[in-house]
Structure 1
């Protein structure tokens, strides 16, 4: 089984290039448990995303909401929205992921009236795509078609992909969603990204609650409310979680010992790191390193 490292930058923006050779689009299958973290970590990207669950079930978090997506159904995630995913009840979840640059969905002339208002709306972070609804079934079938076109690359497949994208977008917007544009919600999203960016840039250093709050231009209490509402965590617990996740890569791929890893990810006590790691992973860092050494990922 190939383990995949989900690459994001300090602001949680995904670094994966979502495009084929000639199109700003990517469509591929993802097995959640094959990620190095065991789940898809919190991130965002400029592309809009459609997901189709082909096996098992998944729990997606989009901004502060959690959505269980059933096998056969899907999910639309809007541009710029924070999201993550984990499989539900060890179901071995596999899904097709379709990422598209918003400017590629429709022609330039149609982008302004039919795409831009939807990706800028503050009340449209996601939409559950139900296979039992005709519009949902149309979208999910089109995702399958696009996945097949990109894998097989028949003649003129780029035109077929473009046609399917138009079909997807029309079925998405025919539901008559009443769009809203609330400036305060835009500001909240930006502040959350700024605080997370600060943590990801400084996790190896000493981080205080005041530092995180300052990055988001908030008071300490308001900072805590942001993290509680959006991530169901405290700011400092999130720092700890992030440090543990960073340690997984170093333990699996580096030649560092446990003490070196502890200090590299921001802990000033090896014993404290070991205790926290055991709580998160149900094994010690040394046992994890040994396990991965004896069971290396396939190349």
Structure 2
């Protein structure tokens, strides 16, 4: 079945620890309304196909800001930090498939691994492949990926076989059209390690008072380096990232607990209740209690 929203759980290195699919069928489908949420920065061992199903999707892949117009897609390679931004209440629906290569190829010794997986999955110089619709095969890839998405989410008869075939066909076409000069992405190890440290700290201490100076001391860097690191990897400033992370946690508490708005504000680092309400409304389009009423499952 489809997961309407991918709830992320990451380890201290921002590696996602959520299982996508099952051991027997390692693929998961997601549909997210980016007008209501965002997808925090993370990485995983699977490759991921993202389609802008409706509206415009704004991503950060490694250090690259990427915009997907409706109908455009991107295939993100394994091990790459990526995130998707909130879209300020504009219609913005993404559909994604997170696929472990074992589903397609089984053993690395198989011909399927060599022909369908390795040409993309094994290339360090090919972090992602953008498919904006300017080539006929881009639409074919999108069609096959959504065919697999539909089969899995609707659990059609023999959907595991049907989805595996569609995914294999899509990878076959993709491997036939790999660019000779793929997009490059920064492999600044020091930047990535710095960001993992800072993001882990924010995740563990977001309810406390955090400033740029706090993060500068933690990472032993100047303010200009701090700001540049956040801009290159998550597309915003440290304080904007912290604020958005607090709103994510507040949204989760509104939907999963009976805590009052005031209690949630304090628990998520907002010690001014009116400011919390203002920022929450600006981010989600709804006041906290209206958000709870609109989205909470009874």
TM-score normalised according to structure 1 size = 0.77
Greater shift in the superposed pair: 174-183 or 8-17: 174-183
Provide the C-alpha distance between the structure 2 equivalents of 1:226 and 1:133, rounded to a whole number of angstroms: 34
In the TM superposition, residue 178 of structure 1 has moved relative to its aligned partner by 4.0
1:199–1:239 CA contact under 8 A, matched in 2? yes
Change (3 A) 1:23 1:190: farther
Which residue of structure 1 aligns with residue 28 of structure 2? 26
Q: Matched residue pairs, number?
A: 288
Which residue of structure 1 aligns with residue 41 of structure 2? 42
Change (3 A) 1:183 1:253: closer
Provide the C-alpha distance between the structure 2 equivalents of 1:159 and 1:296, rounded to a whole number of angstroms: 35
1:121–1:180 CA contact under 8 A, matched in 2? no
1:62–1:82 CA contact under 8 A, matched in 2? yes
Which residue of structure 2 aligns with residue 275 of structure 1? 275
In the TM superposition, residue 291 of structure 1 has moved relative to its aligned partner by 1.6
Provide the C-alpha distance between the structure 2 equivalents of 1:260 and 1:200, rounded to a whole number of angstroms: 19
In the TM superposition, residue 123 of structure 1 has moved relative to its aligned partner by 4.5
Alignment of 1:87-98 (within 5 A): 87=87, 90-91=90-91, 93-98=92-97
Q: Does 1:257 align with 2:260?
A: yes
Deviations 1:117-151 (A, max 9, x none): 74465553322223442331231121122123322
In the TM superposition, residue 172 of structure 1 has moved relative to its aligned partner by 2.5
In the TM superposition, residue 162 of structure 1 has moved relative to its aligned partner by 2.9
Provide the C-alpha distance between the structure 2 equivalents of 1:14 and 1:297, rounded to a whole number of angstroms: 25
Which residue of structure 2 aligns with residue 288 of structure 1? 287
Which residue of structure 1 aligns with residue 230 of structure 2? 227
Provide the C-alpha distance between the structure 2 equivalents of 1:32 and 1:55, rounded to a whole number of angstroms: 10
Q: Does 1:54 align with 2:57?
A: no
Q: Does 1:188 align with 2:191?
A: yes
Deviations 1:229-272 (A, max 9, x none): 223433234223322332233344433334432332234xx33x
The correspondence for 1:142, drawn from 141, 144, 148, is: 144
Change (3 A) 1:114 1:72: closer
Provide the C-alpha distance between the structure 2 equivalents of 1:154 and 1:78, rounded to a whole number of angstroms: 30
Segments of 5+ residues of structure 2 without an aligned counterpart are none
In the TM superposition, residue 199 of structure 1 has moved relative to its aligned partner by 0.9
Change (3 A) 1:215 1:45: farther
In the TM superposition, residue 87 of structure 1 has moved relative to its aligned partner by 4.5
2:254–2:292 CA contact under 8 A, matched in 1? no
Provide the C-alpha distance between the structure 2 equivalents of 1:115 and 1:40, rounded to a whole number of angstroms: 26
In the TM superposition, residue 204 of structure 1 has moved relative to its aligned partner by 1.9
Provide the C-alpha distance between the structure 2 equivalents of 1:144 and 1:7, rounded to a whole number of angstroms: 22
Which residue of structure 2 aligns with residue 8 of structure 1? 9
Provide the C-alpha distance between the structure 2 equivalents of 1:214 and 1:112, rounded to a whole number of angstroms: 47
In the TM superposition, residue 77 of structure 1 has moved relative to its aligned partner by 1.8
Provide the C-alpha distance between the structure 1 equivalents of 2:55 and 2:186, rounded to a whole number of angstroms: 38
Provide the C-alpha distance between the structure 2 equivalents of 1:129 and 1:190, rounded to a whole number of angstroms: 29
Segments of 5+ residues of structure 1 without an aligned counterpart are none
2:15–2:44 CA contact under 8 A, matched in 1? yes
1:195–1:213 CA contact under 8 A, matched in 2? no
In the TM superposition, residue 49 of structure 1 has moved relative to its aligned partner by 0.8
In the TM superposition, residue 203 of structure 1 has moved relative to its aligned partner by 1.3
Provide the C-alpha distance between the structure 1 equivalents of 2:189 and 2:263, rounded to a whole number of angstroms: 40
